[in-house]
A = this chain, B = another copy of it.
Amino acid sequence: MCGIVGYVGGSDAGSFLLNGLRRLEYRGYDSAGVAVHGGAEINITRSVGRIDALAGELGETPPAGMLGIGHTRWATHGPATHENAHPHVGGEGEVVLVHNGVIENFQLLKDELIKKGYEFKSDTDSEVIAHLVAEGLKKTPENKEQPNMRYVTAVQWAVAQLRGTYGLAIAFREKPNMIIAARFGSPLVIGVGRGEYFLASDATPLIGSTERIVYMADHQLAVLTPEGFSVLHRDQGKVRVDIRPLETESNEVSLEGFDHYMLKEIYEQPESIRNAMRGRLDEQDATAVFGGLNLTPQQLRGVERIILTGCGTSWHSALVGEYLIEELARIPVSVEYASELRYRNPPIDNNTLVFGITQSGETADTLAALRETKRKGHRTLAICNVVASSIAQAADGGVYLHAGPEIGVASTKAYTSQCCVLAMLALYFGRMRHLSYEGGKRIIEEMQQLPGAVQQALTCDVQVRDVAQKYKDVSNVLYLGRQYNFPTALEGALKLKEISYIHAEGYPAAEMKHGPIALVDEHTPSVFIIPHGTTYEKVLANMEEVKARGGPVIAIASHEDPQIESIADDVIRIPSVPEILQPIVSVVPLQLLSYHIALLRGCDVDKPRNLAKSVTVE
């Protein structure tokens, strides 16, 4: 999703901006640009496509200057063109800015500005803000005593008219030493150096440049100059901020010999699952322990309902969590799309605990849904991967995945780690209630086998390659599973959709008869997730129904299943694990299948079209 970087200080801005934008690449974008203040003029360079294209555009002697802002854009209003790339110019060039977020009332504002004579060069909502700030400057007289304040006032006037979300970095032609930043609903981090200050939409670009950072909060503005920085509340004046250490996890971001981050991350899963469980399985008491829940056992014992909310892949892990928690702890669980929950206002009982699930911790919809339920007085917890992310700060407490940075846009290891954390939470809540010591102990033993089972599942790679070769040219695929493997079907379909652009769709296997089976013909394969379990024979009957209509069948089946080969056209084998842990193992061949098919189709596996790694707009 869109990314922001900014620099003001005594060094050349360009190199930090380019390096910073490269660090943000993994979030997904379709165009990029930088603006560098040369003292008298601001030089803007924009480019469609990758950062490499932008670097080429800048050439060997890029514009010099000690103040600059940069941006990667994920298109929301208007296609990915040169004109729509940031930075955008306001007025006659007196304002230059980059913007993350979505402005909902931009059309109205744009119409008014056009009436006033402002000319628009792009389709974006962001250009509206640039002109608004220019208009704000017109309206604001100079302030001799505090010259910077005129610019702050202009920005305050401009953002007061916006409906929507924004993270802004703004430079001014007349101020070669000052950046103003503003945040509402779109994260911004200030990096504190010595005589130089940095700005970024998350902490990643700051690694190596500074070790002290400040997370801006909603409604805050910041003024950055080489002499120092100050943060103001939009309406209430100056605020004191906490300078925190920049926590970075180990440098797990090289490819380490793999062709793609996605493949590397798929293969990291035995390790990332181990990390998710490290120190959290308590054999002594046959339960799980978590450090950061920030709730007393009494409070947790009082939980009568659980809501799990998330988007995309995290929504799928929430579905797995529903089955796990309801089975092990007998606490009723509701799974909600975060984007629906935030506006829906459903009746929620007292003693309901809300979990927001997001890899990045920055997913706008999940963050908003969590804040909305927290505002209503419910306890909220986060399950996320990125330490000190927005959701980790917003929730009452939470559980980190410790999966290491996930760079591939299609989530893999974060998904299995989420399932793993939810299994431990189910064990924990279960042991508080109906689950016996023996039952808890058995689950712990089974969980300890998981990294080995996933390791073994990865050996299906060879089989999967053959299957990928055979089906790489299909246009449609159905993914079908039941109970614990219904979310697996959804997740397998999403993976294929995301990186190969094949229309894949997941369904509960039995639901297929109620419509989707109309799609079945010899060109539309169905992937059945059918390891041994309670509904094995039922799913087998559904498989027969597909076969009877001439549809090719790919089965993800247990090693110990002699029957399956007589029905399915292709079989991929996975090791047997107890049903409650199957989602963590059975998804592995589906991740590999989508990877190999995408590769054979020549798709950009790590940076699929149209997608962003963490979706920080609504």
Task: Report A's interface with B, CB cutoff 8 A.
Answer: 75-80, 84, 102, 104-105, 107, 163-164, 311-313, 315, 323, 326-327, 330-332, 334, 337, 339-340, 343-349, 365, 475-476, 482-483, 486, 494, 497-499, 501, 503, 505, 508-511, 513-521, 534-535, 537-538, 540-541, 544-545, 547-550, 563, 608-612, 615, 617-618
Contacts and interface: CB of A to CB of B under 8 A. Distances in A.
Q: How many monomers of this protein are in the complex? A: 2
Contacts of A617: 513, 541
Given A344-B483, A505-B505, A520-B610, A548 B80 contact: yes
A541 B610 contact: no
A77 B515 contact: no
B503 A519 contact: yes
A519 B331 CA distance: 37
Contacts of A315: 511, 514
A70 to B, nearest CB: 21
A122 B187 CA distance: 64
B538 A516 contact: no
The 6 closest A-B pairs by CB, nearest first: A312-B514, A339-B510, A75-B548, A104-B537, A330-B347, A311-B514
Contacts of A548: 75-80, 84
Contacts of A365: 510
Nearest to A484: B344
Given A494-B515, A511-B339, A611-B518, A503 B501 contact: no
Contacts of A518: 497-499, 501, 608-611
Contact of A483 (B163, B343, B348, B482): B343
A475 B474 CA distance: 12
- Determine which residue in A78, A340, A475, A547 has the highest number of CB atoms from chain B within 10 A of its CB, and name it: A340
- Determine which residue in A346, A518, A537 has the highest number of CB atoms from chain B within 10 A of its CB, and name it: A518
A340 B483 contact: yes
A498 B519 CA distance: 7
Contacts of A476: 475, 503
B541 A102 contact: yes
- Determine which residue in A79, A475, A499, A511 has the highest number of CB atoms from chain B within 10 A of its CB, and name it: A511
A346 B326 contact: yes
A104 B538 contact: yes
A594 B518 CA distance: 14
B516 A107 contact: no
Nearest to A545: B76
A332 B347 contact: yes
Contact of A104 (B501, B519, B541): B541
Contacts of A344: 323, 326, 483
A541 B339 contact: no
Given A340-B483, A541-B76, A618 B510 contact: yes
